[in-house]
A = this chain, B = another copy of it.
């Protein structure tokens, strides 16, 4: 057994939903004691940093039911089964912003909440976006509003906690580090 690994001795499947699955595992810890782990299974997600020709970052504001409020975020969405993250990224960009691109650059992949969930977020960037000629029908249950900000404005949003979402905070810092703008 690898260092720190926990041996699963029983899995109780609690819920199998459209977005998440929940299971509770009984495990044996490295010290031989038993414990329980509550585990959320998630299909994974993508985020995309779209930058316009005049060097503005395209954000979306949307209502997030878990928080009961709207957040300002980069466009993002969950992976469909078997879908390549690049495909998801372009689909979400089109649905949420009305822009499209044929040039994506990979930024990073990271786990969002590794203490209780397996969600992984694949982050991309593009500074080559064009408006779609025809609107794409988005998810039936998504309502978003575009907000285009300069990097300096976005940094100010982060400082004021008007942007306070892990992937979006990361995106703004990433741009600040690059000073691409």
Contacts and interface: CB of A to CB of B under 8 A. Distances in A.
A130 to B, nearest CB: 27
A80 interface: no
B164 A111 contact: yes
B73 A114 contact: yes
Contact of A114 (B15, B64, B118): B64
Interface stretch (A35-43, A51-59, A83-91, A95-103): A35-43
Contacts of A111: 64, 67, 71, 164-166
B119 A113 contact: yes
Nearest to A161: B109
A18 B38 contact: yes
A35 B74 CA distance: 23
A37 to B, nearest CB: 4
Contacts of A113: 42, 112-113, 117, 119, 166
Given A4-B62, A161-B108, A115 B45 contact: yes
A109 B164 contact: yes
Contact of A169 (B15, B35, B62, B110): B110
A180 interface: no
Contacts of A170: 166, 169-170, 173
A158 B29 contact: no
A166 B110 contact: yes
Interface of A: 2-6, 14-15, 17-20, 22, 24-25, 27, 29-31, 33, 35-42, 45, 61-67, 70-71, 73, 76, 78, 108-119, 121, 140-141, 143-145, 158, 161, 164-170, 173-174, 176-177
